[in-house]
Structure 1
Amino acid sequence: MSQQNKHRISRRGMLGIAGIAVAGTAGVVGGATFAGGSANAALADCSPTPTPTATPTGGAVGTATARPTSGFAHPGLLHTEADFARMAEKVKAGAQPWKAGYDRLVANRHSQSTWSPRAMPTVIRGGAGQNYVTLYNDIHAAYQNALRWKVTGERAHGDAARNILNAWSGTLANLNGNADRFLAAGIYGYQFANAAEIMRGYDGFDVARFQKMLLTIFYPMNDRFLTTHNDAYITNYWANWDLCNMASVLAIGIFCDDRAKVEQAVDYFKEGAGNGSIKHAVPFVYPGGLGQWQESGRDQGHATLGIALMGSFCEMAWNQGYDLYGYDDNRFLKGAEYVARYNLGQDVPYTAYTWGTGRSGARQTQPGVSPASRGAERPEWELVYNHYVKRRGLSAPNVAAFAQKTRAEGGGGDYGPNSGGFDQLGFGTLTFTR
């Protein structure tokens, strides 16, 4: 690991969605279902690095593929060219469940080629004058139209996606707000990069200008958060805050062919001091293949959000030759099985979770798993299921059951109008079924 990255992960320190209860501070801020973590104060959220009392896993890398040494594969974020070829073939043949997944895409208003961008020079998330709703709706319209173009070849959808992306890269100048601005930088940074990656090489798409926007507006905020954690104690922010910013750094690094940024994100996943790194996100591992998720004592809307974000992170890394799914004896799978099992209505083991909050690290404890938002559904389980069960041949009974329950997955706009329904790009039945 570079000295720069060692410095980053050792410094004290965010992902979330609107409407999150702030551990260590009074009250609940915002009202969006499933959001990752808003707060009016600069020190918004909280999280932990406890000493496990359950059996910890070892440090094996598992079946990691060889780390790449040359260029990047494009398209190579959430989807590859082989993925798009499979989608197109299956949908054309009317094969299930791909056709059902595509039908959900077509039915979504964001996937219509008539969508007109509403780009703004300043986006605000958190505090006075919030207007970020416009941004996340446009991002999902770009992504959904890009998918329709790749599956059908219809230029109207490709043009719509290109026009949305060009409008924002030619207009956006600032991301502002309270602490939640870091959520905007993370969530919308990785999502923007994914939509743009699909459109790479499309006639009239200004790739260089889009790369500049990501590198000068989004990445500096991602880097600042992972480096300083908004000047808070390192465990103050929940895993989701780290995870969205990690996903943005990784996606921007791949989209911009910047190996140093990719390595920064991968190193943080493995060794980062904040709660998004794998051993902090899954602090306790139990016999039987279950791993307690860091936000399980908080609520299930945020616990499921963490699975969505880490799954996206691992898939983007996988498509560039990094097996983080398998890292530390498939530790992410254990966390996903735990979250899926509890939200399917079954019992799970729980170890009291203690962490430091604010600037000083004042200690708080969550004594038990939280039933709040239990049964929360996000379009995330197809990705996890298809990697571990279909691609790798491993057992994941709870993940498999949740994927079956929520099939066919929709996307942004299908899970309510608030930001939580747009925190994942979705449509996994179409895009990830193998």
Structure 2
Amino acid sequence: MAGASIALPLVAFSASSSSATTHSLAQPGTASLATTPSGATLTYAHPGLVHTLSDLERVSTQVGSRAQPWLGGWDRLAANGRSNSGWQPRPLDTVVRGGTGQNYPQLYLDIHAAYQNALRWRISGDAAHGAAAVRILNAWSGMLTTVSGNADRFLAAGIYGYQFANAAELVRDHPDFEFERFRGMLLTVFYPMNEDFLTKHNGAVITNYWANWDLCNMASVLAIGIFADRADLVDRAVTYFQGGAGNGSLPHAVPYVYEDQGLAQWQESGRDQGHTIMGIGLMGAFCEMAWNQGIDCYGQDNNRFLKAAEYVAKYNLGYDVPFTPYTWQSGPKSTTAPHAGWNTQTVPGAGGRGQARPVWDQVLGHYSGRMGLSAPWVSQIAATLRPDGGGGDYGTASGGYDALGFGTLMQYPAQTGSHVSRLQTFNFPDRYIRHTGSTVRIEPTTSPLMDSQFRVVPGLAAQADGRISFESVDMPGHFLRHSFYRMVLAPNDGSALFKADATFLPVTGLAHDRLTSFRAHNYPDHYIRHRNFGVSLTPIVSDLDRADATFRMVD
């Protein structure tokens, strides 16, 4: 496939970009803080949905150096007709999906054009693509007031709500983007429908709707919450993922686990494979957005989602998988109206088996790339699509636009067994753990961010219970360690003492249960905390101690 040329050096983002830009509803460009359950305040990292600033910087570098497979992914993006900077939007005031008068293709075509142009802008710095993305998004936020139709209107509110937010997140700091108007559209048009579905399920019994219906609405609530700096929406989405009543929550979307085989049955596996793979893509997007805000949904229940992805990948590669009969009730939730009764699936659904959807490199990028976990079936199926494309590359109907795609370009697993994070402080959210030589402090960050980036690797002294160590990206071979209860950056001398001092156990945040605290491996009653902008290791006694010892891991 012919690729577009890129002039070097690449510019990954505009001069006004920020890794933690926030906005208030009253005045664009001013910082707003999300209120946490403990009463402290906290900013969300931006850009911070399916792509982060470090993702964009890394991909820009890889494409600029013409490294594969990123260059192949870039070529697919450049060849996609929706990524053309001359794209002209066709906004509507009312979008209809389902029933009479459907017009929703105008919406999903424009969303994917906005997303793809925004990606091209952030990776290449080409202003024409940034202008195109902004033109499309501004046109829609200036006109759209209603999403309607039959029950499928809830699919539209979920899929296009989360995709809209992701496109807008990439241009949120563009000087021509109407941020407040777009934020208002997401909060007044899409979010109420998402919440209505998750609460009422269109008046149906709770098992009536497949996992995808919940998942797309969950993804929309999460994406809008992060984009709009609304902690209540983020908490709502994550809590539902963990144990919501509907089929999109993890226990219901993945109802049966075959632990001895490393597999888990997906809720729609007995239905067909097109919808099943769609579900893997939606849950992958949800987990990625949460992860980029320091919330680990990927690892929930001993990596239950990984086992489900392995199951779906194995079956779609043509292999047999175990199947537990799946029984559900359908119909309206009513004491008087009849319902369709009970249904049972006894074998995996063969419809659409082997279907190509660009969802796999995103899943592989986390489990294999970041975490170093074995994912043989996902690895195999991802390789059959690599480099994958995006909306419009997998069919002209709406199913070809259910995933944003371009996983090879954006999430190919380049670092096996590690991931790069910055440690944002809970109670001083503009500050991160940084090093200057051996000195470690919390300070605000400005680009470049290398001295605030740490490769999170398996613990040097022990790996039980997920123990980790922090290696400096700026100074490879140097690790965060404690020395006389002070945190320093030092070269690994290979000694047992060094390894013990540089190993920590991540635990639930002491001041916020969506964040993380780090307990010392060899002093289990001591935690990493900041004090007077220095960083030390201390026991935890007070509420202030707990706040000082709580961090968000921002990829």
Q: TM-score, normalised by structure 1?
A: 0.84
Match of 2:283, as an amino acid?
Answer: M
Match of 1:382, as an amino acid?
Answer: D
Q: 1:419: which partner in 2? A: 398
Structure 1 residue 69: deviation in Å? 6.4
Q: 2:44: which partner in 1? A: 72
- Write the distance in 2 (CA, Å) between the matches of 1:292 and 1:404: 22
- Write the distance in 1 (CA, Å) between the matches of 2:410 and 2:193: 30
Of 291, 294, 298, 1:318 maps to 291
- Write the distance in 2 (CA, Å) between the matches of 1:88 and 1:160: 19
- Write the distance in 2 (CA, Å) between the matches of 1:296 and 1:347: 12
Structure 1 residue 317: deviation in Å? 0.2
Bigger shift: 356-365 or 300-309? 356-365
Match of 1:416, as an amino acid?
Answer: G
Is 1:366 matched with 2:338? no
Structure 1 unmatched runs, 5+: 1-67
Larger Rg: 2
Is 1:403 matched with 2:403? no
- Write the distance in 1 (CA, Å) between the matches of 2:90 and 2:326: 43
Where do 1:2-401 residues align within 5 Å? 70-286=42-258, 287-359=260-332, 362-401=341-380
1:160-205 CA-to-partner distances (Å, cap 9, x unmatched) read 0000000000010110100000000000000000000000110110
Secondary structure of residue in 2 paired with 1:102: helix
1:305-336 CA-to-partner distances (Å, cap 9, x unmatched) read 00000000000000001000000000000100
- Percentage of identical aligned residues: 63
Higher percent of residues as helix: 1
Q: 2:508: which partner in 1? A: none
Cα gap change, 1:363 to 1:69, in 2 (>3 Å): farther
> What is the total number of aligned residue pairs between the two structures?
367
- Write the distance in 1 (CA, Å) between the matches of 2:103 and 2:283: 27
- Write the distance in 1 (CA, Å) between the matches of 2:313 and 2:193: 32
Match of 1:311, as an amino acid?
Answer: G
1:345-382 CA-to-partner distances (Å, cap 9, x unmatched) read 00000000001110256211011111111101100000
Match of 2:301, as an amino acid?
Answer: D
- Write the distance in 2 (CA, Å) between the matches of 1:367 and 1:88: 47
- Write the distance in 1 (CA, Å) between the matches of 2:322 and 2:69: 34
Cα gap change, 1:400 to 1:69, in 2 (>3 Å): farther
Cα gap change, 1:69 to 1:235, in 2 (>3 Å): farther
Structure 1 residue 412: deviation in Å? 0.4
Secondary structure of residue in 2 paired with 1:364: strand
- Write the distance in 2 (CA, Å) between the matches of 1:69 and 1:417: 44
Alignment root-mean-square deviation, CA: 0.9
Q: TM-score, normalised by structure 2?
A: 0.66
Higher percent of residues as strand: 2
Larger relative contact order (C-alpha < 8 A, sep ≥ 6)?
1
- Write the distance in 2 (CA, Å) between the matches of 1:88 and 1:390: 18
